[in-house]
Amino acid sequence: MSEANALLFIAGALMMGLGALGAAVGIGILGGRFLEGAARQPELIPMLRTQFFIVMGLVDAVPMIAVGIAFYVLFAVAG
């Protein structure tokens, strides 16, 4: 395997790993706060859940994009 090809694999791994790392912390904090809010005011759960999913969709987009591009790099460019 050439050095350029090996670098492509490392690039794909970094993309997936770092993207997942950031989003995991973010969604963890978000979920924790959602539970706190739900425990404090259970009557707000339907409203909170909608907002939770909106923000989760916003945060989740970034690692999913990274996974898609990483797979493209790993399988179509390097493979």
The residues of the shown chain that bind another protein, judged by CB under 8 A, are 53-54, 56-58, 60-61, 64-65, 67-69, 71-72, 75-77, 79
Number of other residues whose CB lies within 10 A of the CB of residue 64: 14
Q: How many helices (H) and strands (E) does the chain have?
A: 2, 0
Q: How far is the CB of 23 from another protein (least distance, A)?
A: 13
What's the token pair of residue 27?
A: 């969604």
Q: How far is the CB of 9 from another protein (least distance, A)?
A: 13
| Closer residue to another protein in complex, CB, 17/79 | 79
Verify whether residue 60 is a known catalytic residue.
yes
Number of other residues whose CB lies within 10 A of the CB of residue 38: 15
Catalytic residue set: 60
